Amino acid sequence: MAAPLLALQSIRLVMGSTPLLEGADLSVGPGEKIALVGRNGSGKSTLLKIAAGTIEPDGGERFFQPGATVRYLPQEPDLSGFETTLAYVEGGLEGADDNYRAQYLLEQLGLTGTENPASLSGGEARRAALARVLAPEPDILLLDEPTNHLDLPAIEWLEGELKSLRSALVLISHDRRFLSDLTRSTVWIDRGQTRRIDQGFGMFEAWRDDFLEQEEKEQHKLARKIAAEEHWVRYGVTARRKRNVRRMDLLGGLRQQVKDYRGPQGTVKMTVAEGRSSGAMVVEAENIHKAFGERVVVDDFSTRVMRGSRVGIVGPNGAGKTTLIRMLTGEIEPDRGTVRLGTRLELAVLDQRRASLDPEATLKDVLTGGGSDTLTINGQPKHVIGYMKEFLFTPEQARTVVGKLSGGERNRVTLARALALPSNVLVLDEPTNDLDLETLDLLEEMIADYQGTVIVVSHDRDFLDKVATSIIVAEGDGDWNEYAGGYADMVVQRGAGVSARRVEKAPAAPKGKSAPAAPPQQKRKLSFKDKHALETLPKEMDGVRKQMAALQSTLDDAGLYNRDPDKFEKVTADLAAAQQKLAEMEDRWLELELMREDIEG
């Protein structure tokens, strides 16, 4: 067997007063493809940072083969100090590396190379960082959640690219399909220690479940043995106390084993508060069209969503998936066509941006609405601490402000609040972001048991295959089509997966001359004013609609013109002005929403 390129042995690390890693091992041989898995907070990212040499452990050894090259993709890459994305990617190359790969990889990932790193969105920065670690084709690739912020075309391209590389790979991801297709070994971090099987992720979960079941049986055996020894202590020790000190010591040791035993980390228990049943027809859209300027987002699309359906919506970043959802749920109106909503609808919405979470509010107040220690789930009062525990929060976190929670914790908060609302329609925009694999399992089970209708946007192919009964896919240029079944069924019917958006290539430099300087770019981030408008415009538009309804009610008085022609003229003019104002506000909101989709994908 070839000597390892990288080896970690007996790694120990304490975070505060809590041991995070206690004797963890990791060995990476040439060309190996390893999945690194474990619950959120188990230490996966920390172990990868130790492997990359960015943090030092409290104990253990790190061996690195002299001359071997390693590249590490962190969850939050730093692009500061570079004028363009191309310069950033080329900065990771060495003398013998192919400079052409830098431009090639950027184009494949939807960038031109001329972007200013200071104005990139999180998703764009992630793509540039991926190009930087892939360009040198190193001996070892350490990738921490490489599919975060990537759309389906980019995920499928990345999968193919990693398969073609000879590099060894250690991969952390919540994307089951991605892990299963790429890995051949699995390292599981559990309660501070690592366990390895020389099989890919596709075989891991059955092995893990068998391991935990066997561990539970061993604990039952230990409990029975302790009970037998305690019976002997009560009834047999009096006459033979001096002769049986060793047996008493044995009992003490067994009790200590039970005391020291750390069971598996807790699991989320997802329950959804269901409202009354909706009508049989939930949404009917006929020939709907939406455009902003010359850009068509949805063109002549029709669908009918029936009660109990699970509809998945997929497409590249910026295709308008969120806009389509908002039209289907009646939040915004199409330019043409009609959307008819069914009767008795009660919607619960999981927002992709988590924008509805007040960063200054405490976890307890977010879940209860403030001023109470209980919330109502399916008609039954439930104490907020008990509900928090179901989503893996400790009682001590009740007064923690949301802004200090991790991405995964904020996602669980949003899920917990959305599922607590009585509903018969769940609208889930990227629900799988930052969730670990076990929590994803429970989310899938919850959706399967839910009696209502689910509309979901996701880039997770395995998740869509397990929950969706139909897939609506962006075909490009505002064209959307619906296919029966999950994501894999859609690929079979369509003949291909989701297509990437076209990206114009950066102009090539004339022979013998350096590439032209990157042209000045418009800032690619929403300003504070734009963000504020995006959040406040929906309420302002509701206010204008109420004003229009009141004006229209006045005009509905058939005798108004005869009684007071001046008032009739004024009300008519006010109504026309309100209609014009609403149209302008809707255009502005759509402009900002499309901008947000494009840069925060």
Q: Which positions make up the binding site?
A: 38-45, 315-322
Please, is 78 exposed, middle or buried when counting C-beta atoms within 10 Å of its C-beta (0-12, 13-18, 19+)?
A: exposed
In the numeric block, which tokens belong to residue 584?
A: 């302008």
CA dihedral of residues 510, 515, 517, 519 (deg, nearest 10): 70
Please choose, from the candidates 82, 90, 92, the residue with its C-alpha nearest in 3D space to the C-alpha of residue 115. Answer: 82
Residue 594 phi, psi (nearest 5)? -65, -40
159 touches 173 (CB < 8 A): no
Cα 157 to Cα 40, 154, 215, 451, 601: the distances in Å are 27, 5, 40, 36, 17
The H-or-E segment that residue 574 falls in is helix 565-599
In the numeric block, which tokens belong to residue 281?
A: 């027809």
Residue 336 phi, psi (nearest 5)? -140, 165
In the numeric block, which tokens belong to residue 394?
A: 């400790």
Beta-carbon contacts of 531 under 8 Å, excluding residues fewer than 6 positions away, are none
172 touches 159 (CB < 8 A): no
The H-or-E segment that residue 532 falls in is helix 528-555
In the numeric block, which tokens belong to residue 289?
A: 């069209």
The H-or-E segment that residue 252 falls in is helix 245-260
Annotated binding site for ATP: 38-45, 315-322
